Amino acid sequence: MAQWHKSACILCECNCGIEVFTSDGLLERVRGDKDHVSSQGYTCNKALRLPHYQNGPHRLTSPLRRKADGTYEPISWDTAIAEIAARLAAVRDAHGGESIFFYGGGGQGNHLGGMYSSALMRALGARYRSNALAQEKTGEFWVDSQLYQAHTRGDFEHAEVAVFVGKNPWQSHSFPRARVTLREIARDPGRAIVVIDPVRTETADLADHHLQVRPGTDAWCLAALGAVLVQEDLVDHEFLAAHTRDSAAVLDALNRIPVAEFASRCGVDVSRIRSAARRIGSAASVSIFEDLGVQQAPHSTLSSYLEKLLWLLTGNFAKRGAMNAHSWLQPLAQHNARHDRRTPVTGARLIANLVPGNVIADEILTDHPQRFRAMVVESSNPAHSLADSQRFRAAMAALDLTVVIDVAMTETARHADYVLPAASQFEKYEATFFNLEFPRNTFHLRAPALPPLPGTLTEPEMYARLIRALDVVTAEDLAPLHAALAAGQFAQAVLEMMTGKLAGLAPFVMYEVLGPTLPNPSPAALWLIAQRCFLTYPDAVRRAGHASGDALFEAILSSPSGVTFTVDDYRDTWTYVGAADKAITLAIPSLLAELDGLRDAPARWTTAEFPFVLSAGERRSFTANTIIRNPSWRRKDTQGALRISPQDAESLGLSETGTAVVTTSRGTVHTAVEITDRMQPGHVSLPNGLGLDFPDQGRTGAAPNELTDSAWRDPLSGTPWHKHVPARIQATTAPMNGALH
């Protein structure tokens, strides 16, 4: 039947509401959903290409098991579940549940399965996991945990000054209706955009202040901006006195920074730095977004700290247009500053309980007795997205058991012992926990628009079957909950369960007990989350119109365009700050020491052998991680070209009719070329999400992590330097997709 259905875009964390037209089992058309609680009809150019994700020959339709010769054979679901459960149990019995590692658990659109995979981890006694956040946001999370123990967001819609540090929201979005908001700020003479980026991005085109740093030197630039604020006394002393502690140490450190010298180290004219700092220091409200350009570059954790000092020193917190802490329906990740857990082999710091992506292979490729022995990957493509793909493939081969859950035969699935085919995100109930807004925070549970492709299952169902096969929960365990549900005393019974052996398995228990009473069991575990949200923020949830946890759960189930779950006033942001006295601890001694050392620290990592800085993985108009595999989805930049400045292209003899070979300490790729004066000399970029195979079309573009080295990472947080890879470039006349040599 041909029909429009409400759904959401799954290509970035905004998850804009959409309507999809389905006919004959295919997703045919997409338009924005005007009723959507956060996007209000907005989409970018990418959402319209979602049929390339849903329809096509890349979809898996049977569980696969790898044979001794490396090829795969289809097996039944019963066989797959029984064998995987038995082999996971065998690894647990031989080496302990801690040796079973989980990676992924949700991409840009699908987090419902993650609730149930955490129950599977508990059932196995597994403790270690990771996902993409541990190669982007963990440094920032660590800084957040030291300062205010909360997560903050900018209010760009209302900000007088919007600052983007290593962030190109025109392409990458990350806040609702990004292009509309950027255009509004750019048009208004009373407002301003500040961009810190070595590239003249589309966002920089709209900026009043573009600080075009040399790649990798943000720490110097941000320190200079902070120093101007302090040295020209643009600091909000009243805010510091009322709401922070230890500010003297920070003011002291920034007072000592030689602004002109730091400006020259980051390659920006000192007068530009001064005028940007003055604009920030004199604004009624400032919002800042730092992203991969600093988070995946040298001194990333220090840069996160310096970025936050800019808005803290100017009192841009807990008010309209500024930075605010927010509620969570379910925390995506949270770091507790008092926890210092480490990985078993390399002793790397876990932040928000995540293993840094760059050490995963080292936790496997060793004879250490506590090495990881098995890995379950879901909704993620780590053999493509983690640094040093070669080494990650070797790590997969060294494990006793690898299981990949995906919709397609990905670069990671190709190295797994078992591949389990998932129903797509338009074939099942789905949602994300990218619920990061303030003062009105929203959540969107979407219903399927199409039936599951034959042979596929939802992730919640896969995890439920695996947990059942492990025999850790008996019918007797569940009987009291079934009885309580029938008697209308479910909440009380769940509360009691939470003190017993089923506590960690609660999402699975909801699936088994509450699930059968719902139209579909997948959202059952949201009941727990709705109750906890109400207990945590009763006033804010009530202001959003939900009188209880049950009422919130009902609203989630019955709101096809999403639901507002908390409503706050700007001053309520303080309720989300962690410290009992609600004060912000401004000084982070280890980072202040790193700041002091900047003056004598090197600001170049290139060598005569590798003279260019390669940013490996840039967001462009047609990139979306590895979510859409069909290369025909790309309307522009079809090959994912290497971007290079005219000066460099000339000296290397590169032209757009030819191609280039890029070599780093870890590998070589062949790529198309785009010559553009948006790039500064010495800096080149490749897009993210390319280098994927598609049936009958082979591989398109270069896979960025064939070039990255896992040793290049932040010493504190372990986040990779994907944006700062020393590289060599040579011109070639070999056509793309042809043989290089």
Ligand X SMILES: Nc1nc2c(c(=O)[nH]1)N[C@H]1C(S)=C(S)[C@@H](COP(=O)(O)OP(=O)(O)OC[C@H]3O[C@@H](n4cnc5c(=O)[nH]c(N)nc54)[C@H](O)[C@@H]3O)O[C@H]1N2
Residues in contact with ligand SF4 by CB under 6 A are 9, 11-12, 14-16, 43-44, 46-47, 173
- Closest distance to Mo ion from the beta carbon of 170 (Å): 17
Q: Which of 549, 691 has the CB closer to ligand X?
A: 691
Among Mo ion, ligand SF4, ligand X, none, what does residue 680 contact (CB within 5–8 Å per kind)?
A: none
- Closest distance to ligand X from the beta carbon of 122 (Å): 20
Residue 92: both structure tokens together:
């647990």
Residue 163, SS3 per DSSP: strand
Backbone angles phi, psi at 623, to 5 degrees: -130, 150
Using CA atoms, how far residue 405 sits from 67, 194, 423, 670, in Å, is 18, 41, 10, 30
Residue 350, SS3 per DSSP: coil
Among ligand X, Mo ion, ligand SF4, none, what does residue 165 contact (CB within 5–8 Å per kind)?
A: ligand X
C-alpha span between 673 and 648 (Å, rounded): 12
- Closest distance to ligand SF4 from the beta carbon of 327 (Å): 21
Interactions with ligand X, residue window 696-715 (CB under 6 A): 704-705, 708
- The residue from 356, 689, 701, 718 that contacts ligand X (CB under 6 A) is 689
Q: Which of 135, 559 has the CB closer to ligand X?
A: 135
Interactions with Mo ion, residue window 478-517 (CB under 5 A): none
Q: Which of 136, 618 has the CB closer to Mo ion?
A: 136
Q: Which span (245-253, 343-351, 503-511, 621-629) binds ligand X, by CB under 6 A?
A: 621-629
Site string for ligand X, 432-461 (x = CB under 6 A): ---------------------------x--
Q: Which of 136, 512 has the CB closer to Mo ion?
A: 136
Among ligand X, ligand SF4, Mo ion, none, what does residue 456 contact (CB within 5–8 Å per kind)?
A: none
CB atoms inside a 10 Å sphere around CB 269: 12
Q: Which span (167-175, 326-334, 346-354, 503-511) binds ligand X, by CB under 6 A?
A: 167-175
Please state whether beta strands 323-325 and 584-585 pair in parallel, antiparallel, or not at all (unpaired).
unpaired
Interactions with ligand X, residue window 26-55 (CB under 6 A): none
Which helix (H) or strand (E) is 26 found in, with range? strand 26-32
Residue 110: both structure tokens together:
């699908």
* Burial (CB count within 10 angstroms: exposed 0-12, middle 13-18, buried 19+), residue 286: buried
Between the CA atoms of 257, 262, 268 and 273, what dihedral angle is there, to the nearest 10 degrees?
A: 0
Q: Which span (310-318, 364-372, 374-382, 561-569) binds ligand X, by CB under 6 A?
A: 374-382
Q: Is residue 619 at the binding interface for ligand X, with CB under 6 A as the rule?
A: yes
Residue 312: both structure tokens together:
């803290």
Q: Is residue 167 at the binding interface for ligand X, with CB under 6 A as the rule?
A: yes
Interactions with Mo ion, residue window 136-165 (CB under 5 A): 136
Q: Which of 552, 616 has the CB closer to ligand X?
A: 616
Does residue 439 have a cis peptide bond before it, meaning omega lies within 30 degrees of 0?
Answer: yes
Q: Provide the β-strand partners of residue 31.
A: 19
Interactions with Mo ion, residue window 112-141 (CB under 5 A): 136
Q: Which of 351, 407 has the CB closer to ligand X?
A: 407
Among Mo ion, ligand X, ligand SF4, none, what does residue 226 contact (CB within 5–8 Å per kind)?
A: none
Using CA atoms, how far residue 33 sits from 15, 19, 347, 624, in Å, is 11, 6, 47, 21
Q: Is residue 171 at the binding interface for ligand X, with CB under 6 A as the rule?
A: yes
Contact 183, 206 (CB under 8 A): yes
Among ligand X, Mo ion, ligand SF4, none, what does residue 335 contact (CB within 5–8 Å per kind)?
A: none
Residue 372, SS3 per DSSP: coil
Give the sign of the dihedral formed by CA 405, CA 409, CA 412, CA 416: positive
Q: Is residue 408 at the binding interface for ligand X, with CB under 6 A as the rule?
A: yes
Taking alpha carbons only, the member of 646, 639, 647, 657 closest to residue 731 is 657
C-alpha span between 496 and 590 (Å, rounded): 43
- Closest distance to Mo ion from the beta carbon of 707 (Å): 18
Taking alpha carbons only, the member of 217, 440, 237, 406 closest to residue 329 is 440
Q: Which of 53, 262 has the CB closer to ligand SF4?
A: 53
Contact 692, 629 (CB under 8 A): yes
DSSP H stretches of helix in 471-567? 475-486, 490-497, 506-513, 526-536, 538-543, 549-557
Q: Is residue 280 at the binding interface for ligand X, with CB under 6 A as the rule?
A: no
Among ligand X, ligand SF4, Mo ion, none, what does residue 15 contact (CB within 5–8 Å per kind)?
A: ligand SF4
Residues found near ligand X in the complex (CB under 6 A): 12, 107-108, 110, 132, 135-136, 165-168, 171-174, 196-199, 201, 213, 215-216, 218, 291-294, 297, 378-382, 385, 405-408, 410, 422, 424-425, 459, 615-619, 623-627, 688-689, 704-705, 708, 722-723
